[in-house]
Structure 1
Amino acid sequence: MSGGDRVEVRMKMNSSGQSLQDQAYPPASAGWRAVAVLTALYWFGTLDRQVAALLIPLIKADLHLTDSQVSLIPGLAFGLAFMVMSLPIGWLVDRVSRRAILFVGVLMWSMAAMGSGLSRTFGQLLGARAVVGGAEATINPSAYSLISDFFPPSKLTLPMSIFNLGGNLGSGTSFMLGGAVIALVASFGDVTLPLVGTLAGWQAAFVITGIPGLLLAFLVWAFPEAPRHKPATATTDAATFGELGRQFRRHSGFYLMHNLAFAMVMGFVVGLQSWNSAYLARHFAMPLAQIGFWIGLTQVVSALVGMWFHGWAVDRIFSRGRHDAHLVYFCVMCLLACPVGVAAYMVDSAVGMIILFNLAYFLIMAFSSIGPAALQIATPGRLRGKATAVYMIVLSVLGTILGPIVVATFTDRLFRDEAMLGHSMALFAAVTTLLAALFCWLGRAPMRRAVADQLGV
């Protein structure tokens, strides 16, 4: 393999065989304690976020909405606020206590999630989901920055994968919890609370998912604030957006291809998850309680099996000197996921659809750890919060906001028939995975150059 494809980094070792680079980081016990807390917060934050996807059929019927209107609840309402808040939060992450940012953010999104359940109109619900989105913009930049300062680059993807396992578990358990609440309400009738009044099943599900965060927020004080690491190359530049712009121009090929690639995969995940429950209900007359249980259970199993494996595999490849490992690995995963994701919406079986979707999901779920890990490794420590904020904005616009809307647009405008929802989802799965693979492939050489710059080799 040519020198352009592989970069070998030789590090001095101490008497016990530990690299001097590793010695510069906090004790592993502190890092893993932080990962445990951050994973729990991400778990329940994603539970707040994703429960709306299961509830779409109920919300649509209760509030008398079209497909295009209801797609705004998991998409535009959440994603636009998430995008708007990402830059100021990224600026704060590089300057103030990341634990304090998380503490405030968790409290706010938990209260807003509960407020979603108290909404009586479409406008009120959009407003509450927007507050959830704005507050949840605190979790990723803060967590990625903290984890990157607890672990060296060669050991970063595994803890990133475990952190992002929380997101996958939250997404899966949101379906299971939402399904359980719907089944409970169906058995005993609507829920009546003092001072609040009667809540429908979808409203009760929102309230219940917001409660745990009010207690979990205090766990951010259970681990230390990791010291911020400086890049291998000396610099006197301040950590400003101007310096970030110079970093982006210096390695424009990497940042452009990286952000676009993982935004496409974000679109695949959010766009399809937002419509899976509606698809199963329309095409197979599957009750929502069953949909929530089976989609949630299979997604949790996929996450538990897959996240540690993908993180471990990429770390192994990267540590052997393959500094474009993250993009090469994910290019392959997207190509494998493409035919499986398309087939999920072409089979004439609810069981077959759930199995195939989860197989595709298993292959690409690691985008939530591999993408951020590559970004942190290639970006100076003083700029990681801002770079992550820009990354999350791109993911919000192209993935979270547009994903559900594009699927609905395919159905309403291209096929002009709600019964063709499966065709819309199959087309969307093909487009997003193939574009993601292309962008990953084009970003390989730029990533090698960006990583070499940060490692000083």
Structure 2
Amino acid sequence: MREIEEMTATMTIEEASPAASGPRTAGAYDWYVVAILFSVSVLGYIDRVILSFLVEDIKADLSLSDAELGAVTGMAFAVLYVFGGVFIGRMLDRGRRVTILAACILVWSVATAASGLATGFVTLFIARMFVGVGEAGLNPAAIGIISSRFPQDKVQKPIGLFTTGLYVGGGMAMMLGAHLLTRFAAGGPYDLPFIDSAEPWRVVFLLLAVPGLFVALLVQSSVREERGGGQRAAPAKGEALAFARANRKLIVLLALGIVSWSMNNYGLLNWYPAMLMRSYEMTPGLVATTYGPAFLLGGIAGCLAVHPYYKWLRSRFGDRAAYYLSFSSMAVLAVTTLVGPIVPTVQLAVAMSYVNLFVSSISVASIFVLIVAVVPPTLRGLYTGLYMALVNLTGGAFGSVMVGLLTDRVYGAHGLNLSLTTMAAAFGPLGALLMYLASRQGGAGTRIAAD
């Protein structure tokens, strides 16, 4: 055990990563794999984010409170995501990533269809739980596959491109959701299995579940497990515990910083469309045509900015660049999320949504870059799963619920913007401070290959 601990504590990134000593350029097939993973990410986030756009219709049809909506949009997704993320992450470090990813796509697609058949809070909650357990494998599998195919000093760009899928999927969910709702509203209600006179939001869920079947087949049939078909090393016995012990101060600071950041960031992402409808009296169609493009364009721009911004940080801060990428983006996000929900006009609210999503997307991608920089390749599936579980348990679950509770019990339905600002004030600066402290703790033991 002591030998493993010493090895893990002193391991540099160049020594830890097979990619670092492998080919220095990526081939066409490597970028094809990134494109497929990007497509999977788009699909996953459409299935996940569409609920945020449909909340007002679901609330009216199922007679849900804002607290129940917060539980459905956040906590339900996180309940099994937490356990699934850790368990699936460990499986990904030892088993076939591609097969596990394809199975996860099937699970969340079936659960999306089940969401459209929900008859109340409990059945909708259960359906969203299984969307969560399916999507728990997406990011750990993708980050593992990408980091095995690209050199350490080139991994920021493919990670940034993969992360754009979150925002492309989110933007498409809103725009596609509005289009489908408008189209089916004219002919509804509909008779569905187990449900008579179904509202249009149910049809939207059922239709969005279909592409997952084809994407799962595409992943399984066309994505190869490793670059060159080689076998990767499995984690040594006790390696995960040894790594945690050797880096416990850094891991605690990173975990607390990520928790605080996610409480602010994911509460905003889940509730911003509803906030525009309530606090600024925008119609669902207008939200789709304004906030949808903001989600799409702001998110893509931020993800594409990650690589050049990282290179600039590396020229200034050297080995600590990955830490400063996270700290600086979270610090800026703390300010923009505080201001965005309380600007005086709807035009400014929409403009701030572009800014928030640009900065948010950098912060999301920065965590994946940091994991690749700090964690040995044999443990990246586990630690990516732990990170995603932590984010969804705290920000994704309790962050959304806290916004709902603040709205129900303190500010009222039209004070949703004040609930979001309160969350930003409470958690945004704290998250940035903790990530800064982590940047002071880390860096010495992790050396990133020079560009």
- Compute the TM-score of the two structures, normalised by the length of structure 1: 0.88
Partner of 1:439: 434
Figure out how many residues of one structure are paired with residues of the other and give that number: 431
- The answer to whether the 8 Å contact 1:47/1:173 transfers is yes
Give the CA RMSD over aligned residues.
2.5
Alpha-carbon deviations, 1:81-100, whole Å to 9, x = none? 11111121011101111000
Q: Within the alignment, does 1:448 sit opposite 2:448 as a pair?
A: no
In structure 2, stretches of 5+ residues that fail to align are 1-11
Partner of 1:14: none
Partner SS state of residue 448, structure 1: coil
Partner of 2:198: 199
Q: Within the alignment, does 1:337 sit opposite 2:337 as a pair?
A: no
- The answer to whether the 8 Å contact 2:302/2:357 transfers is no
Q: For 2:327 and 2:134, how far apart are their aligned partners in 1?
A: 32
Residue type at the aligned position of 1:422: N
Q: State how 1:68-107 maps to structure 2 within 5 Å.
A: 68-107=67-106
- The answer to whether the 8 Å contact 1:81/1:133 transfers is yes
- 286-295 vs 169-178, which moves further: 286-295
In the TM superposition, residue 319 of structure 1 has moved relative to its aligned partner by: 7.3
In the TM superposition, residue 362 of structure 1 has moved relative to its aligned partner by: 0.7
Residue type at the aligned position of 1:423: L
Residue type at the aligned position of 2:36: V
- The answer to whether the 8 Å contact 2:20/2:151 transfers is yes
Partner SS state of residue 186, structure 2: helix
- The answer to whether the 8 Å contact 2:411/2:419 transfers is no
Q: For 1:158 and 1:20, how far apart are their aligned partners in 2?
A: 15
Partner of 2:390: 394
In structure 1, stretches of 5+ residues that fail to align are 1-8, 12-18, 231-236
- The answer to whether the 8 Å contact 2:77/2:128 transfers is yes
Partner SS state of residue 443, structure 2: helix
Partner of 2:222: 222
- The answer to whether the 8 Å contact 1:25/1:149 transfers is no
- The answer to whether the 8 Å contact 1:265/1:364 transfers is no
Partner of 1:404: 400
Q: For 1:254 and 1:392, how far apart are their aligned partners in 2?
A: 18
Alpha-carbon deviations, 1:80-132, whole Å to 9, x = none? 11111112101110111100001111111111111111112221111111111
More helix by share: 2
- Compute the TM-score of the two structures, normalised by the length of structure 2: 0.89
Q: For 2:274 and 2:406, how far apart are their aligned partners in 1?
A: 15
Q: For 2:135 and 2:179, how far apart are their aligned partners in 1?
A: 25
Partner SS state of residue 73, structure 2: helix
After superposition, the Cα gap between the structure-2 partners of 1:368 and 1:197, relative to the gap in structure 1 and judged at 3 Å, is same
Task: Give the percent of matched residue pairs that are identical in Structure 1 and Structure 2.
Answer: 25
Q: Within the alignment, does 1:271 sit opposite 2:271 as a pair?
A: no
Residue type at the aligned position of 2:432: A
In the TM superposition, residue 75 of structure 1 has moved relative to its aligned partner by: 0.7
Q: For 2:383 and 2:19, how far apart are their aligned partners in 1?
A: 27
- The answer to whether the 8 Å contact 1:87/1:386 transfers is yes
Partner of 2:117: 118
Partner of 2:3: none
In the TM superposition, residue 349 of structure 1 has moved relative to its aligned partner by: 2.1
Q: State how 1:38-49 maps to structure 2 within 5 Å.
A: 38-49=37-48
Partner of 1:419: 414
Partner of 1:326: 322
Q: State how 1:41-440 maps to structure 2 within 5 Å.
A: 41-193=40-192, 197-220=196-219, 221-226=221-226, 227=230, 238-240=235-237, 242-315=238-311, 317-318=313-314, 322-413=318-409, 415-440=410-435
Q: For 2:82 and 2:26, how far apart are their aligned partners in 1?
A: 34
Q: For 1:194 and 1:171, how far apart are their aligned partners in 2?
A: 28
Residue type at the aligned position of 2:414: A
Q: For 2:422 and 2:69, how far apart are their aligned partners in 1?
A: 20
- 311-320 vs 174-183, which moves further: 311-320
- The answer to whether the 8 Å contact 1:259/1:395 transfers is no
Q: For 1:244 and 1:293, how far apart are their aligned partners in 2?
A: 46
